[in-house]
Amino acid sequence: MSRAMNRVVVVGASLAGLATARSLRVQGYDGELVMVGEEPHRPYDRPPLSKDFLTGTTDVADLTLESNGEDLGIDWKLGTRADRLENGKVYLEDGTSWAYDGLVIATGARARTDVVGARLDGVHLLRTLDDALALREGLRRGGRVVVVGGGYIGSEVASTARAMGCEVTLLVSGTAPLHHALGPHAVVVSDLHHRHGVEVVTRARVTGIRPSGGSLVVDLADGRRLPADRVVLGTGAVPATAWLAGSGLELGDGVRCDATGATSLPGVVALGDCSAWFDPALGRHCRVEHWTSAVDRAPIAARTLLGGEAPTTAPRRAPYLWSDIHGSRIQMAGHAELANSCAVETGSVAEGSFVAVYRRRGHPVAVLGVDQPKHFMSVRRRLVSIPAVPSLQGASA
């Protein structure tokens, strides 16, 4: 190690935070390791919160991210939020502060709550374990559920609520659920919802939520009034970086980092949903809110923090995400925004099972699969070998 470190503070008891703590130990760091978490829970897996956890198939103990018998020598500071970063110290809301030699910022993102009535009883967010516990109890009572937001969380919750016997309406601001992510292929998700009895309302704009006779009403801009026993807000998230204002860190849509996780402050790295790493393939900073990216970037961020050589030129795995909606597995990998052509290679969009490959200058730069895991993975492996160099930027065909 080229940088002397006696104490590393990790802010964010998350997948990204825990993965970085592991990487630090693997790479030889044997000093003090402090992990600060806003929630009272040790790190847990979030993807099941909108699926198996809501149904009860998965329970709290199944979510733990720590291995049996694992001991990383962490000094846990849970149930308190980081308040500010100033002069080499992290100040917590409980009045304590921690000086550090190295700092890992992994505070994730917060759910958007900019809808009138978002704080009413019966209106749910789904970002934390406690959010999921409250929503699970509500869904078990059945009734009418309105889900606001057509992204992955919204579609997964709509699918799960319907499987639990609820009457479900999904409100989408665009032309189809997941349209932003899947483009014209998002029709597959619309068809899945329709076949399973979820009402999808497109181009919907919510003006507010209000109580009405012991239940709720969701008001839409076109004058429609949708009665609901429960409302779930899945309208996106914003990076949890407000506590870093005035710290000297460069902030934008997240903490801005180079391609190795280094920030504008010495001895500080960031990763996970709160960070915007520079992506050489795209030629810009971007946030990647994917499970696999947090895991893949943890060893890089740890190496950067310890002063080692980061593999800036080695091929890295393309961004990857997956979703389970009404029993169908949807998988996406790569950078579809780099593509200038797209073709279905196997299966059929109309039949709801296919693999579509996105290419630029003949190179596969992204792949989408619906219920075609084997073929999807074969294409995904080819994405790894695509060099992240400017030659893929700006070229036309």
Inform me whether the pLDDT recorded for 393 exceeds 50: no
Between CA 50 and CA 56 the distance in angstroms is 11
Which pLDDT band holds residue 310 (cuts at 50, 70, 90)?
low
Inform me whether the pLDDT recorded for 1 exceeds 60: no
H or E segment to which residue 167 belongs: strand 167-171
Tally Cβ neighbours within 10 Å of residue 349.
15
Q: Which CATH class is domain 113-235?
A: alpha beta
Span 344-353, average pLDDT: 92
Span 255-281, average pLDDT: 93
Between CA 349 and CA 340 the distance in angstroms is 20
Q: Can you read off the two tokens belonging to residue 396?
A: 């036309």
Residue 149 is predicted with a pLDDT of: 95
Span 249-276, average pLDDT: 95
pLDDT tens per residue, range 133-161: 999 999 999 999 999 999 999 999 999 99
Is 7-110+238-305's fold the same as 327-390's?
no
Give percent above pLDDT 70 in the chain: 93
Inform me whether the pLDDT recorded for 2 exceeds 60: no
Between CA 167 and CA 210 the distance in angstroms is 19
Nearest to 171 by CA among 200, 141, 212: 200
Each domain of the chain, given as residue ranges in start order, spans: 7-110+238-305, 113-235, 327-390
Q: Can you read off the two tokens belonging to residue 197?
A: 């009895």
Which pLDDT band holds residue 344 (cuts at 50, 70, 90)?
very high
Using CA atoms, how far residue 89 sits from 73, 106, 271, in Å, is 21, 16, 19
Q: Which CATH class is domain 327-390?
A: alpha beta
Inform me whether the pLDDT recorded for 23 exceeds 90: yes
Task: For residue 52, give every residue at least 6 positions away whose Cβ sits within 8 Å of its Cβ, in sequence order, or none.
Answer: 58
Residue 3 is predicted with a pLDDT of: 55
Inform me whether the pLDDT recorded for 391 exceeds 60: no
Task: For residue 280, give every residue at least 6 positions away whose Cβ sits within 8 Å of its Cβ, in sequence order, or none.
Answer: 259, 388, 389, 390
Which pLDDT band holds residue 316 (cuts at 50, 70, 90)?
low
Phi, psi of 180 (to 5 degrees): -65, -40
**Residue whose entry in the numeric block shows the structure tokens 């009457």:** 167
Residue 314 is predicted with a pLDDT of: 43
Which pLDDT band holds residue 42 (cuts at 50, 70, 90)?
very high
Residue 159 is predicted with a pLDDT of: 97
Residue 332 is predicted with a pLDDT of: 94
CATH number assigned to the domain covering 7-110+238-305? 3.50.50.60
Which pLDDT band holds residue 394 (cuts at 50, 70, 90)?
very low
Q: Which residue has the higher pLDDT, 217 or 384?
A: 217
Write the single-letter amino acid at 34: V
Between CA 296 and CA 42 the distance in angstroms is 21
Between CA 104 and CA 274 the distance in angstroms is 11
The half-sphere exposure of 388 on its side-chain side, counting CA atoms within 13 A, is: 20
Between CA 268 and CA 8 the distance in angstroms is 10
With beta carbons less than 8 A apart as the criterion, state whether 374 and 329 touch: no
Span 271-277, average pLDDT: 95
DSSP codes joined into one string, 100-131: -SEEEE---EEE---STTTTSTTEE--SSHHH
pLDDT tens per residue, range 186-226: 999 999 999 999 999 999 999 999 999 889 999 999 999 99
